[in-house]
């Protein structure tokens, strides 16, 4: 994933769980965390409370989280996880192109941080603590 670093984040428009279209472009100028996840992925689901906390803490300071449901086999189960835990950041459904553009092969969760200028600052599989550190450092000064 190193070859994603410092590149312009690939643009996308995906639909959310309610069928509304959401584009990456609409969050221009903000720090964005993309969370590629699926309901069957234990580490993905375990990381979500932390992601929700980050979102709650920094959303008013220009931080956005976008969950991207990737390789999902059970859409209803994914919706249930989100509803049950009250995750209120945007949840979008991958169209296979987005996961390809962001080099999500088979391993999830994958976290991507896009900076205010639309460049990819961080892209790693299953490394939430490192992503968390970067986000805290961006907003805590």
Spatial separation of the C-alpha atoms in residues 35 and 7, rounded to whole Å? 18
pLDDT digits (tens, 9 = 90+) for 79-90: 999 999 999 999
**Which tens digit of pLDDT belongs to each residue from 28-72?**
999 999 999 999 999 999 999 999 999 999 999 999 999 999 999
> Which pLDDT belongs to residue 140?
82
Could you report the per-residue pLDDT of 75-120, keeping only the tens digit for each?
999 999 999 999 999 999 999 999 999 999 888 999 999 999 999 9
- Helix intervals (H) in the chain: 42-58, 75-85, 97-101, 128-139
Task: Say what the pLDDT of residue 3 is.
Answer: 76
């Amino acid at each position: 994933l190193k070859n994603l670093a410092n590149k312009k984040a690939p643009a996308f428009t995906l639909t959310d769980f309610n069928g509304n279209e959401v584009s990456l472009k609409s969050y221009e100028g903000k720090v964005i965390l993309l969370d590629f996840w699926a309901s069957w992925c234990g580490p993905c689901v375990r990381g979500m409370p932390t992601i929700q906390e980050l979102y709650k803490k920094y959303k008013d300071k220009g931080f956005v989280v976008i969950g991207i449901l990737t390789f999902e086999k059970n859409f209803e189960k994914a919706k249930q996880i989100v509803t049950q835990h009250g995750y209120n950041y945007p949840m979008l459904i991958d169209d296979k192109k987005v996961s390809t553009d962001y080099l999500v092969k088979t391993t999830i969760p994958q976290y991507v941080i896009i900076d205010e200028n639309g460049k990819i600052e961080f892209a790693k599989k299953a490394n939430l603590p490192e992503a968390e550190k970067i986000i805290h450092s961006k907003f805590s000064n």
